[in-house]
Amino acid sequence: MKSIITLPASSEALAFDGEPSAAELAAIELELPLIEAEVDLLDVEIALLDRPVSELDAQRLRRRRRRVLVERRKLTNRTTVRSGGVA
Q: What are the tens digits of pLDDT across the range 1-33?
A: 666 766 566 655 556 678 889 999 999 999 999
Q: Please state, in angstroms and rounded to a whole number, the distance separating the CA atoms of residues 13 and 8.
A: 6
* pTM confidence score: 0.69
pLDDT score for 18: 86
Alpha-carbon dihedral angle through residues 50, 52, 55, 58, given to the nearest 10 degrees = 40
Single out the residue of 33, 62, 32 nearest to residue 48, CA to CA.
Answer: 62
